[in-house]
Amino acid sequence: MTAQRHKVLALGLAALVIALSLAPVQAQSTASKARVNINTAPASELESLPRIGPKVAQRIVDFRTKNGNFKRIEEIMKIQGIGEKVFDQIKDLITVGAETAPK
């Protein structure tokens, strides 16, 4: 092998090792954060979610005031400005509250 190939392989291997070592940190930081309850969170807390600005956060608050609590997190897509792409980014960060056991 040439010296240039060795450098490329070494850099690629180093990048892979770094990426793999950071993966557990990323997973842990995501898991350790509490989910935002879309039924109780004020607009300011909803704004902490990716792609949710002040206007969309206020729409969420207004929607639940008018229609009652969300029963499933997917219902947040009824809000103008939250489509499938935004939902995919926030679905692991939101909750509708504690799940109740079936009776």
The overall longest dimension of the chain from CA atoms, in Å, is 69
**Global pTM value:** 0.65
Tens digits of residue pLDDT in 22-79: 655 555 444 447 899 999 999 999 999 999 999 999 999 999 999 999 999 999 999 9
My answer on whether 48 and 83 are in the same domain is yes
pLDDT of residue 5: 74
pLDDT of residue 50: 96
Q: Where in the sequence is the domain holding 46, given as residue range(s)?
A: 36-95
CB 49 within 8 A of CB 62: no
Q: Which two tokens stand for residue 42?
A: 């004020």
- Is residue 103 assigned to a domain? no
Query: Using 50, 70 and 90 to split pLDDT, how confident is the model at 10?
Result: confident
My answer on whether 40 and 28 are in the same domain is no
My answer on whether 42 and 84 are in the same domain is yes
My answer on whether 89 and 56 are in the same domain is yes
- Is residue 102 assigned to a domain? no
My answer on whether 86 and 40 are in the same domain is yes
CA nearest to 41, candidates 60, 54, 55: 60
My answer on whether 40 and 90 are in the same domain is yes
In this predicted structure, the answer to whether residue 102 has a pLDDT above a threshold of 50 is no
Average pLDDT over residues 8-27: 65
CA–CA separation, 32 and 75 (whole Å): 25
Query: Using 50, 70 and 90 to split pLDDT, how confident is the model at 14?
Result: low
Q: Which two tokens stand for residue 91?
A: 């679905």
User: Residue 19: helix, strand or coil by DSSP?
Assistant: helix
